Amino acid sequence: MDVFTVVVFLYNVGVAYFQQCTVKTLRVDADKTGARLKGYTYITFSNIGPNACYNECIRRTKCRSFNYNSITRRCDINKMTSSSETDFVDETNCVYVDMTQYRGDSYYDPCPGSDACVEGEFCQTLKDNINICNIDVK
């Protein structure tokens, strides 16, 4: 291989890598960045990605919003949404998402009929795209 071919190859690898790193990682838009809702968390998940956090929330009837910190990879599932700016605390690398707008929309909600699950349960999709309700951890 000549030097030009190697340089072009490395350039293409670098472009692909950096594009992948800058692509939006959360499948929905954050309602607030640099802050988290305080006082309403009922489940926290550690070491998960932003879309896994979204999925944990959307599958729980009790979840109304979530906070996600991209550095610590902490996901707070909240039982309330914000009603005031005083409900938030500043937290770098954190986003807040209100789930109200995504509930029941089959594009965003993998269990659009999950309102059949009662509070204290979460919707699980089985292999054959059958949804069932399971007991939640809290």
Report pLDDT digits (tens) over 72-114: 999 999 999 987 889 999 999 999 999 999 988 888 888 775 4
- C-alpha span between 138 and 125 (Å, rounded): 20
Distances (CA, A) of 109 to 59, 67, 84, 124: 8, 18, 26, 12
- Sequence spans of domains, the chain: 31-106, 108-137
- C-alpha span between 64 and 42 (Å, rounded): 11
Question: Hey, is 80 helix, strand or coil?
Answer: coil
* pLDDT for 132 beyond 90: no
Identify the weakest region by mean pLDDT among 37-46, 57-66, 70-79, 113-122: 113-122
**Under 8 Å CB-to-CB from 63, ≥6 apart: which residues?**
56, 57, 77, 78, 79, 99
Q: Mean pLDDT across the chain, nearest whole number?
A: 82
- C-alpha span between 137 and 67 (Å, rounded): 18
CATH number listed for the domain at residues 31-106:
3.50.4.10
- Chain-centroid distance, C-alpha 106: 16
In sign, the C-alpha dihedral spanning 100, 59, 42, 94 is negative
Nearest to 129 by CA among 105, 108, 110, 115: 110
